[in-house]
Structure 1
Amino acid sequence: MQLFNLPSKAQYYSTNSFKSLIIISCFGCMIYIVCSNFLAPNNTNNKHFHTSIALQNDDGNSPTQTNLDHVVFGIASNELSWSKRKEYVKLWWKPNKMRGCVFLEKMPLFSSNYTNNETDLPPICISEDTSHFKYTHKGGTSSAIRVARVVSETVALNHSNVRWFVFGDDDTIFFPENLVKTLSKYDHGFWYYIGTNSESFMQNKFFSYEMAFGGAGFAISYPLATVLAKVFDSCIERYPHLYGSDGRIHVCLTELGVGLTREPGFHQMDFHGNVFGMLAAHPLRPLVSMHHIEKIDPIFPNMTTGKALEHLYNAASFDPHRILQQTVCYDRWFSWTVSVSWGYAVQVFNKNVLFPNVQRVQESYAPWKSSHLGGLYDLDTKKYTFDPCQRQLVYFLDSVSSGINGTETVYTKKTSDKCKFDMSSPRRLEKIRVLSNKLVLDKKQLLAPRRHCCDVLLPSASGNIMEMGIRECKEDELINMEQ
């Protein structure tokens, strides 16, 4: 009985040729692997080159899209300030969606109340003892070392599935949706140190233009943070003469060969007083953070600092990516220039103001340092007119609502004056209504942002209400009076 059929001569040669091809292919692969390992540089100490993952998809629905689950926060505070400043953290912290700690040198008084009644705050972590580190800067305090080590101690919490570590002070407020959207532009597998400088020329000159100021908040990608944590204490020992915590983090990252990636949505806010000018001319980037909340005036008139921030966060809940984004359009009948800083304020100038001049930051604030260099800023600024009868009209956010026509924000006068005017003056306007659709930041708008345009929908001569609409600009549309 024949158990199997012998192959024909043609089948025999065909089969053996196929086997030979497999053997040659395998031999070639082995040679490639050996040569690759031989010729490639030794990357034993450069593991971050191998941890890169694919860039995020645009649709926002991919499982690889960066979100709050991938972020761990380290918040620097102390026992004395936490009892007050925790109210700022409550504004942006999302329980059960965020991970991280607020670091104190010791547990605050009445900590049991914190545990039982304030679950809308991050947990407290007690900082490790840093008394064995030297601190020799005469104008500062050794607590800067404890605050600096928040970075390594946050990494040591050993959370899983982390892409970014984000650090800030207890008076730093974050806008979480904008934070993760900003970070999603970057491949978290690479070594990234993301933040911003001070607005003050003097501050940057004294510390460094390459340093992320800690109060503004900054982000470090996971692979970089894990390496930084390993070497950080040795850096602290080499730099006892530095002033602050952010300076120590900066020099250690510099020794690792990593530079700062600047994101203008982070704000150090080295100002005093009225910061209207800075907020009304926000950069064309999502608002990520604001610092020094206690050092500036309430951002809305006739409100406390806390209520004013709640008012801003309420607007941001309707359209987080559009908050503070500036849009400019022109009423050609009266030659008025109208600037909308969405969710905050509308300015109406009674003349044609060229668009580049509208974008300049008005120096409504006082300098951080009262020296001859204190009034110099690393911003494109212009003088602020304090005479209410000589400057533009300002209408502050009154209400926000959402309906079938999109989002409606209403802006009204919050202060009164006795300035004279006629019917061609915008002073007769009592209310400005702005319609817009929710801003979607896809990959194109994130990487190559373009400002939106707007139109005056109701003729300004129709009464004391102006109605406007925000939309995407046409391809060849210019923003000017003559367009």
Structure 2
Amino acid sequence: MNQTRRKRRPDPSLSRLDSLSPEMLFPAKSPALTSSRIRNIFLLLVFCFIIYIIFSYGTFRREKISSIARSLTVFSTRRRHLLFSIAASHDSWLRRSSYVRLWYTPESTRAVVFLDRGGFESDLTLPPVVVSKDVSRFPYNFPGGLRSAIRVARVVKETVDQGDKDVRWFVFGDDDTVFFVDNLVTVLSKYDHRKWYYVGSNSEFYDQNVRYSFDMAFGGGGFAISVSLAKVLAKVLDSCLMRYSHMYGSDSRIFSCLAELGVTLTHEPGFHQIDVRGNIFGLLCAHPLSPLVSLHHLDAVDPFFPKMNRTESVARLIGASSLDSGRILQQSVCYDSLNTVTVSVVWGYAIQVYEGNKLLPDLLTLQKTFSTWRRGSGVQSNYMFSTRDYPRDPCGRSLVFFLDSVGSDGSEGTWSNYILHRVGNCHRAEAVKRLERIKVLSHKLDHDTQQMVSPRRQCCDISSPYNKSMVINIRQCMPDELIAMNT
């Protein structure tokens, strides 16, 4: 049987495939679809990253924001946020109210005076007077001491219990304490009043600190307590007064009670107890770089300026401070290399002109112009700072020029004039023997955050030539400038 080969008929589907173009067989992905997917993936990654940041760094960010907020609050402290409590007696207030009148300003300073008894008429130039409450129930056992220490210590509680509004700091002092209020505001602005702070300084006399404590703020120099701490202290103070009946002074009782609360002293060297006597020229001429905050024991020291009484002297110092509070008693040293002259400027107080090259560390050491606080032949002159001898012979001392006048140029600049204080008939070097007046030019010293945390002494230049008068310009030092004579 013959077999015939059958022809295979072409598959119609294959012929259709042959007719299709490559683009039809393998279509490209939709551009719109690809962009949408990429965008969605990107947004998803961003969202995940944000969630990661929130959970990983949320605590840090909250603390950082909180820290910034606290800083803004702290540095907005003003005079109205301070409440001064002045401890006095009826008899002492008669003599010393003139000191308080020098620094108290009714329009901007909040203060109250606590007396043991009344009898004074209202005086708008002085703080209001309050009679302290009875403290006879509290024991006092210090031999030869004064029971008034209990009343003065309890001023802290009575002040807080008044309930004054918008108080950040309670400041305590005596009626012979002179405060430089703007500088105190600057100093306290470093600290957060919502935390517990006890701010002040100890005595200049070493033996006083040994007797009481190196960590106690001496009350006459003044001390400040933050409002948050003061409210707690007021609640527990009476129990402390019962427990510390054997102590001498009011400041010892406050210190002991704060110690029981776990609080230690924050030292600020601008508070001055002035536990020395006599001429404190050497003490004032070597003030630390910190702003001057207070001066005490004014009745035990000589007037600061010649031919003035104590009140007039303090008034002149405060008058200079009103123009540039941050610069008062700040020391700058400059040199005239050509004539080998050294000049130490203590702004707002005095200028000393030395013949020869005096090294800066020597000029920063206090001249011992004063005597010890405690009297007696066996008392040693031990202080909390280094001292150098003050020549007995006036001709062996520097030329001294005391502040005569001070003013402003209408902007940030100030000028101050100093007049020679003549002592003895001394032979002086040719360069300075006719010198009678010195004028100092400066810009207002702003104790900003950097200056307070990391202070640096300023430099000065002597304009030459000079004969009867000299002009000095105080300025910021260059970054690598040394305060020394060019040799």
Name the TM-score, length of structure 2 as normaliser.
0.84
Query: CA 1:404–1:369 in 2, change beyond 3 Å: closer, same or farther?
Result: same
Structure 2 residue 424 is matched with structure 1 residue 417: yes
Match of residue 328 from structure 1: 333
Match of residue 447 from structure 2: 441
Structure 2 residue 95 is matched with structure 1 residue 84: yes
Q: How far has the Cα of 1:207 moved from its partner? A: 0.6
Whether the aligned pair in 2 keeps the contact of 1:56 and 1:184 (CA below 8 Å) is: no
Which amino acid is 1:161 matched to? D
Q: How far has the Cα of 1:52 moved from its partner? A: 9.1
Aligned length: 427
| Counterparts of residues 99-118 of structure 1 (less than 5 Å) | 99-108=110-119, 111=120, 114-115=121-122, 118=123
Which amino acid is 1:390 matched to? G
**Larger CA deviation: 357-366 vs 378-387:** 378-387
**Superposed CA offset, 1:305-349 (max 9, x none):** 111111111111111110000001111111111100000000011
| Counterparts of residues 82-161 of structure 1 (less than 5 Å) | 82-108=93-119, 111=120, 114-115=121-122, 118-161=123-166
Of 404, 423, 430, which residue of structure 1 is paired with 2:436?
430
Gaps of 5+ in 2: 1-39, 41-46, 60-65
Of 468, 474, 480, which residue of structure 2 is paired with 1:476?
480
- CA–CA separation in structure 2 for the residues paired with 1:200 and 1:365: 12
- CA–CA separation in structure 2 for the residues paired with 1:252 and 1:397: 43
Which amino acid is 2:403 matched to? L
Whether the aligned pair in 1 keeps the contact of 2:74 and 2:192 (CA below 8 Å) is: no
Q: How far has the Cα of 1:373 moved from its partner? A: 4.2
Of 224, 227, 237, which residue of structure 2 is paired with 1:219?
224
Q: How far has the Cα of 1:64 moved from its partner? A: 5.9
Which amino acid is 1:345 matched to? A
- CA–CA separation in structure 1 for the residues paired with 2:251 and 2:155: 11
Match of residue 15 from structure 2: none
Which amino acid is 1:325 matched to? Q
Match of residue 400 from structure 1: 406
Whether the aligned pair in 2 keeps the contact of 1:270 and 1:368 (CA below 8 Å) is: yes
Name the TM-score, length of structure 1 as normaliser.
0.85
- CA–CA separation in structure 1 for the residues paired with 2:379 and 2:195: 38
Of 443, 448, 458, which residue of structure 1 is paired with 2:464?
458
**Superposed CA offset, 1:17-57 (max 9, x none):** xxxx9xxx9xx99xxxxxx9xxxxxxxxxxxxxx9994444
- SS of 1:394 mapped into structure 2: strand
Which amino acid is 1:416 matched to? V
State the identity as a percent: 50
Which structure's CA Rg is the greater one?
A: 2
Match of residue 386 from structure 1: 392
Match of residue 22 from structure 2: none
Gaps of 5+ in 1: 1-13, 15-20, 30-35, 37-50
- CA–CA separation in structure 2 for the residues paired with 1:480 and 1:320: 27
Of 237, 245, 250, which residue of structure 1 is paired with 2:255?
250
Deviation above 3 Å: which 4+ runs of structure 1?
Answer: 51-57, 371-374
- CA–CA separation in structure 1 for the residues paired with 2:428 and 2:105: 48
Which amino acid is 2:259 matched to? T
Whether the aligned pair in 1 keeps the contact of 2:85 and 2:111 (CA below 8 Å) is: yes
Q: How far has the Cα of 1:427 moved from its partner? A: 3.4
Q: How far has the Cα of 1:101 moved from its partner? A: 1.1
Whether the aligned pair in 2 keeps the contact of 1:393 and 1:427 (CA below 8 Å) is: no
Match of residue 69 from structure 1: 80
Structure 2 residue 292 is matched with structure 1 residue 266: no
Query: CA 1:331–1:289 in 2, change beyond 3 Å: closer, same or farther?
Result: same
Match of residue 43 from structure 2: none
Of 145, 164, 173, which residue of structure 1 is paired with 2:169?
164
Match of residue 300 from structure 2: 295
Query: CA 1:216–1:364 in 2, change beyond 3 Å: closer, same or farther?
Result: same
Query: CA 1:53–1:444 in 2, change beyond 3 Å: closer, same or farther?
Result: closer
